[in-house]
Every structure is written in C-alpha cells, then in structure tokens.
Amino acid sequence: MRDLPRDARSKLCEQLLRYLETHPDNRENASRLLQFVQQTPDCFKREHQAGHITGSAWLLNPTGDKALLTLHRKLRIWVQPGGHADGDPDVLRVACREAAEESGITDLCVLDAEIFDVDIHTIPARPATGEPEHLHYDVRYLLQAGHEQFAISDESDALGWFTREEISHLTPPADTATLRLAALWPTQG
C-alpha cells in the first residue's frame, strides 16, 4: 500500500491546526481527527474499516438565510450533504463534489477554504453488506449555492432548505453536530 504524498496529508494537518487555534470549543474532535490523519496512512480510503475521512458541505442558499439538508436514506436523519473521500486527500474538493452529487446543484461557491467544522461520528454496521461499524472523521466546509433548485439523489429520501430555527426543531437534541453547524453559520440580516 502506497502512502499519500506528504504535502497532501500536510495540507489537511495545517488546516486542522489553524482550526484548533480558532475553535477551542471543538478541540476534542479536531485533536482526534488531526491525530488520525497523522497516524493513519489510509485515512482517505473507505477500505480502512475502523474509520476514514469524509468531506461535507454546510450549503447555504443564495441569500444565506437557509441551509440545505438531506434526509439520508440509510441513516434516516437530516444531515448536511457529504460523503467519502474515496482516496482524494483534497477534502474541500470532496465536500464540493458530494454537495453537487447529492443536490444536483453545480453552481457552488466556496465561501471559505478553511475548515468550517469537524465531527467524528459512528456509522452503524450494515450486516447485509458486511460493512462493520466504523467512524467517519468528517471535515466540513462552508459553501453557497447560486440557486435553490435541487434534485434528489439515490442517497436521499428528501432534500430541503431550512432556516436556523427550522433546523433546531427538525434536529433531535442528541444530534449535537448538526445543531453546532446551525449555531456556527453566519446568517444574513
């Protein structure tokens, strides 16, 4: 197995170090994710069964007052668009790709190339496919769509644009990651 080029891993590590400086309230997740990237040669590959890097987008509408959430088909919860890096160490590119694939929106703008949020969450085992329980080390970026028209992909049962208040009612209190994203998001007005 070939290790990633040092610069690909270094770029994400440098971003995580900057994130740690500016987000001390999420230090535990960021420190664990940084350690995982530094110590796991296959961290960007889905085949690393204990866990792997994923990229997500907190995708805002053109006016910035709503965020796009997807009702995830397998997990049955409302979450931001995102998915597996599949070997790609450019996690911002992964977040953009996944947002476009899951929403059908290709007119996307990166509002900030720095990390918006990080989260580590457990994905339940799927015995029917032989997939074991594992961790997603999720790196999230802030994006904006050029329009609100979307198309529902195979990975979703529904998509919708939601205000911060709607997200607080839609999201169970146990889903602290989505609630944290909603609290971080710089709404207009």
Strand partners, 68: 161
Q: Tell me, which fold does domain 6-184 have in CATH?
A: Nucleoside Triphosphate Pyrophosphohydrolase (3.90.79)
- How many other C-beta atoms can be found within 10 angstroms of the C-beta atom of residue 67? 26
Distance CA 147, CA 135 (A): 33
Beta-carbon contacts of residue 180 (< 8 Å; ≥ 6 apart): 26, 117, 119
Per domain, the residue ranges of the chain are: 6-184
Tokens of 70: 């997807």
How far are the Cα atoms of 68, 116, 160, 186 from residue 59, in angstroms, in the given order?
Answer: 6, 11, 11, 12
Dihedral of the CA atoms 160, 180, 124, 86 (nearest 10)? 80
Tokens of 87: 């070997």
The tens place of each residue's pLDDT in the chain, 189 residues long, gives 345 455 778 899 999 999 999 999 999 999 999 999 999 999 999 999 899 999 999 999 999 999 999 998 777 889 999 999 999 999 999 999 999 999 999 999 999 999 999 999 999 898 888 889 999 999 999 999 999 999 998 878 899 999 999 998 888 877 889 999 999 987 654
Tokens of 3: 């290790």
Amino acid 50 reads: A
Task: Tell the burial category of 7 from Cβ atoms under 10 Å away from its Cβ (0-12, 13-18, 19+).
Answer: exposed
Model-level pTM? Answer: 0.92
Closest of 73, 105, 87 to residue 4, by C-alpha: 87
